[in-house]
A and B are shown apart, each in its own frame.
Chain A
């Protein structure tokens, strides 16, 4: 009963105002490529120093959840993920917008984000201490296997040739090794350039690989960027709700995946959305429609990435280990306020913790009206903007967003070069997603592998370290299952086709 009282404290006028302002600011910041959720939260941390702790946390949580959702706008309307966690939203969001269903795609993204956010928030409320224990069981070797598991998603993400998908992932993995080695400290592939010492910045690469090809294609023909709607259809809320209801199991599964992935420190929303997209595609009877504007694709990715918000707070609060990068910033803000994470978050400081949880749930619900309102105007304005304004505007946002990540002009050069290379590779069948996946998973895989190898050497059994733990074996089994499933599925379809053809001929 006391807990409920703490949660209801989130409904005070001041906290509600902060939640509305945070969600709106987060949506706008998240929709701009280059301005990630981490940056949105980091920039506004100083604003919270004078506030009561629970209000400060509510504001930061609202910005975070709004930014993760806002990333879907740019993904749907200009094929550029506003935040890394919206990568997979481009797969079906942009094809939907191109065929004139951008308004429906935005509504679906809003509904999915709200549902994902609520599931993640409720998991934080109900299961925090229990789930945090699971995260503690993950050692370097488990992270290595988790990264390898992530790489098996390539077979789902590469349209056409799986081999080209693996080449793309290899390029991404190789790019992730540029700079100072994660273990050992050697400089690798810098060719004497001091600019490359810091490595290839993931978000710069992401912006380049997704944004520059869009710009190049925009100036290729005089045809419209997006198909404008034939008549004013509002936000197509009822249609969106019907599609959500049809995809309810997909949404629930994706929300659970998002929550679980977020509990693992370092994994983040991008991996959660890619895993859930892959799962949705595998489980769907319309799997061949994925990548061509399938609403279930948007439901999967947007539910998962917003579920990571609540899920990521679980290890942050219970163990003091941030689940996602924005959680690290929020953890810093908590420490500045004089709070220590751990069991006392749920005992001595229970009022702050539960008021924040209530505020996070309120902010997630508020995302529905605010998101639908902003989304409606975002779609209308993007459709009506002429290319002569749209192209320089996207280019400017791309350049300034990339520069702002590390205040480094060289990142902009790398972004442009990777973008042009990505455009050429895409024309030759290598999509940007496997490259980005390799770039994200590379450091996780390498660190896990090298640390596991060192542990194996120290204990005298490398194989025992990599294959001896039940959790590792579980992830390996899942990896093998995911890697072999597409082959088994293709073989089954071929056999089925042959049987049908045989029956028709006889």
Chain B
């Protein structure tokens, strides 16, 4: 990661236009859904909605006038990044019915697989798996045992 300093840089004019339009849509949505609220509850979201509408339009205009800085995005392993997003999202959605421990072990093992870029050896697999399971067990024990956090057990395990 240390070789990728510009990974969060501003996008191209096209991206800025899209972002501006998305802001306008978000603002319009905020204003639309605020129409049924009482006056007191609506005053703040409406004000923000109007401001976002103005900012979105300004961004589109600035992008069209070529005021937006264009920086190339750093290359990366899109497949791995997408896989990470899918795994973490699936993990969050299955916490309740698969159980905290089972879903976490499964997700962490999969994440270990996508975060490793070199060849696997049998010894490395065992060492990494044992380390990972010990870390999970340690934190699980801390939260469930010491801090009394009621972590979901899952519907499959009774």
Contact = CB atoms under 8 A, between A and B. Distances in A.
Interface stretch (A223-231, A264-272, A279-287, A298-306): A223-231
Interface residues of B, number: 79
A429 B11 contact: yes
A286 B15 CA distance: 31
Given A224-B2, A431-B8, A400 B143 contact: yes
B2 A227 contact: yes
B10 A221 contact: no
Contacts of A417: 89
B76 A404 contact: no
A14 interface: no
Interface in B83-119: 83-85, 88-89, 91-93, 95-96, 100, 104, 107-109, 111-118
Interface string A422-464: 0000111111000000000010011001100110000000000
A88 interface: no
Interface of A: 43, 98-99, 160-161, 163-164, 166-167, 170-171, 173-174, 177, 181, 183-186, 188-189, 212, 215-227, 386-393, 395-397, 399-400, 403-404, 407, 409, 412-413, 415-417, 419-420, 426-431, 442, 445-446, 449-450, 453-454
Contacts of B48: 170, 173-174, 177
Given A164-B10, A388-B128, A426-B8, A400 B139 contact: yes
Contacts of B59: 163-164, 167
A183 B41 contact: yes
Given A403-B149, A416-B88, A396 B135 contact: yes
A226 B4 CA distance: 12
B144 to A, nearest CB: 9
Contacts of A454: 40
Interface string B6-37: 01111100011001000100110010011001
Given A391-B111, A428-B19, A216 B95 contact: no
Given A174-B52, A186-B37, A404-B143, A395 B116 contact: no
8 closest A-B pairs (Cβ-Cβ)? A220-B76, A222-B117, A186-B41, A391-B115, A392-B108, A429-B10, A388-B116, A181-B41
A419 B7 CA distance: 16
B64 interface: no
17 contacts: A160-B10, A164-B10, A183-B40, A189-B45, A223-B3, A387-B115, A395-B88, A399-B91, A413-B92, A416-B88, A416-B92, A429-B8, A429-B10, A429-B11, A431-B8, A449-B44, A454-B40
Given A426-B8, A428-B10, A430-B19, A416 B44 contact: no
B26 A171 contact: yes
A212 B91 CA distance: 13
Contacts of A161: 10, 68-69
Given A170-B52, A393-B132, A427 B41 contact: no
